[in-house]
């Protein structure tokens, strides 16, 4: 609490899925938080970031803002996802370097949230941070993953040359209340919850699920991730990337059945194997996070999915309450 009290913090993407619980936690710790909105600060433009930092003079910046989505969104927007994410990160790091040098703010720090999509397509499981450069990312999300990965390179280069304290974190797939449930842009848990809730309400006999169901993923509850970001900001000051995960791998077929139970959907799941599966496996080695700043995820997957289903039912009333 003493670390955060009255500390000036800027959170890019602070109104988003991960940013909302992070800002809430910062406010409970009495931090002085500012969330830039895109209508006022287009973070793809360096002058907008310079204006933001000069106006707020933060001691700590969380960079969460991103253009991203699920497999369909990545396939539809590879150029946009690459440009938006690369431009935001590159301009922010350069502006932060100049900000730090100009105002000589003691203990200035930048916390960069990367993506698991930066890992090579065929990474040994569990993913260890040392494997990050041992191959090309999965093709459907490579432009997004590589754009975010370049921020690690830039952060490490700026640390060596300018002494800028930037840390780089790699959260696994996030889910939870407040997720994006738009079927064109959502990730797998949100998409399946929406499909099954709406199918149950409409009395539909089946729901289509992309892929074979045989691939595996790991999922981190969004509020656990927010806690991990705070711990890293407080305690970690190194150049190496750090995974944030939950420590449980599950196949998409098992996940779909878990969601079917949580949504009480009685129909069939129709697996469309003509659609891409994505990366074969994703599961993280979380040893560094535990040893460097004491992070361990708390939310069991079954309970987290129930909470997400309940949130969706409450906030998307046109589909009816899911519970």
Residue 137 sits in a domain whose CATH number is: 3.40.50.720
Say what the pLDDT of residue 318 is: 56
Instruction: Look at residue 207 and tell me if it is in a domain.
Output: no
Distance, CA of 40 to CA of 248 (rounded, Å): 40
Instruction: Look at residue 287 and tell me if it is in a domain.
Output: yes
For residue 179, the surrounding DSSP H or E stretch is none
The 10s digit of each residue's pLDDT in 235-283 is 999 999 999 999 999 999 999 999 999 999 999 999 999 987 877 888 9
Lowest mean pLDDT of 34-48, 65-79, 115-129, name the range.
Answer: 65-79
> pLDDT averaged over the chain?
93
Instruction: Look at residue 197 and tell me if it is in a domain.
Output: no
Q: Is 135 left (phi over 0), alpha (psi -120 to 50) or beta?
A: left
Say what the pLDDT of residue 1 is: 63
Sheet of 249-251: strand order equals: 173-175, 216-221, 249-251
Instruction: Look at residue 33 and tell me if it is in a domain.
Output: yes
- Count of domains for the chain: 1
For residue 61, the surrounding DSSP H or E stretch is strand 60-63
Q: DSSP labels for 217-257?
A: EEEEEHHHHHHHHHHHHHH---SS-EEE--S-EEEHHHHHH
- Between CA 192 and CA 200, with CA 195 as vertex, the angle to 5 degrees is 120
Asked if 144 is an active-site residue, the reply is yes
For residue 13, the surrounding DSSP H or E stretch is none
Omega cis (within 30) before 300: no
Is residue 108 within 8 Å of residue 100, measured between CB atoms? yes
Containing structural domain, residue 287: 8-179+218-249+280-300
Instruction: Look at residue 271 and tell me if it is in a domain.
Output: no
- What number is the average pLDDT over the span 204-220? 94
Q: Would you place residue 66 in the very low, low, confident or very high pLDDT band (cuts 50, 70, 90)?
A: very high
Instruction: Look at residue 3 and tell me if it is in a domain.
Output: no
- What number is the average pLDDT over the span 55-72? 91
Instruction: Exactly one of 72, 83, 119, 144 is catalytic; name it.
Output: 144
The 10s digit of each residue's pLDDT in 145-163 is 999 999 999 999 999 999 9
Res 218 pLDDT > 70: yes
Say what the pLDDT of residue 317 is: 64
Instruction: Look at residue 202 and tell me if it is in a domain.
Output: no
Instruction: Look at residue 185 and tell me if it is in a domain.
Output: no
- What number is the average pLDDT over the span 53-57? 95
- Check the CA dihedral 243-113-189-147 and report its sign: negative
């Amino acid at each position: 609490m003493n670390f955060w009290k009255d500390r000036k913090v800027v959170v890019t993407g602070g109104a988003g899925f991960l940013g909302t619980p992070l800002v809430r936690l910062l406010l409970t710790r009495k931090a002085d938080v500012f969330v830039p909105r895109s209508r006022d600060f287009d973070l793809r433009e360096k002058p907008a970031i310079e204006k933001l930092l000069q106006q707020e003079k933060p001691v700590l910046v969380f960079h969460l803002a991103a253009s991203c989505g699920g497999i369909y969104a990545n396939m539809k927007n590879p150029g946009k996802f690459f440009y938006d994410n690369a431009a935001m990160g590159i301009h922010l790091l350069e502006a932060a370097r100049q900000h730090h040098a100009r105002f000589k703010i003691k203990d200035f720090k930048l916390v960069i949230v990367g993506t698991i999509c930066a890992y090579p397509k065929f990474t040994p499981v569990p993913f260890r941070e040392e494997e990050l450069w041992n191959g090309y990312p999965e093709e459907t999300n490579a432009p997004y993953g590589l754009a975010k990965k370049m921020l690690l390179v830039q952060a490490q280069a700026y640390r060596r040359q300018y002494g800028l304290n930037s840390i780089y974190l790699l959260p696994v797939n996030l889910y939870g209340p407040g997720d994006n449930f738009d079927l064109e842009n959502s990730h797998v848990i949100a998409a399946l919850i929406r499909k099954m809730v709406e199918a149950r309400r409409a009395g539909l006999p089946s729901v289509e699920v992309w892929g074979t169901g045989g691939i595996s993923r790991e999922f981190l509850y969004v509020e656990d991730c927010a806690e991990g970001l705070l711990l890293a900001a407080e305690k970690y000051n190194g150049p190496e990337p750090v995974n944030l995960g939950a420590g449980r791998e599950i196949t998409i077929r098992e996940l779909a059945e878990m969601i079917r139970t949580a949504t009480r959907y009685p129909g069939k799941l129709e697996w469309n194997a003509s659609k891409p599966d994505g990366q074969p496996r994703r599961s993280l080695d979380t040893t560094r996070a535990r040893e460097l700043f004491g992070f361990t995820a708390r939310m069991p997957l079954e309970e987290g999915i129930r909470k997400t289903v309940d949130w969706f039912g409450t906030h998307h009333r046109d589909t009816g309450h899911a519970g």
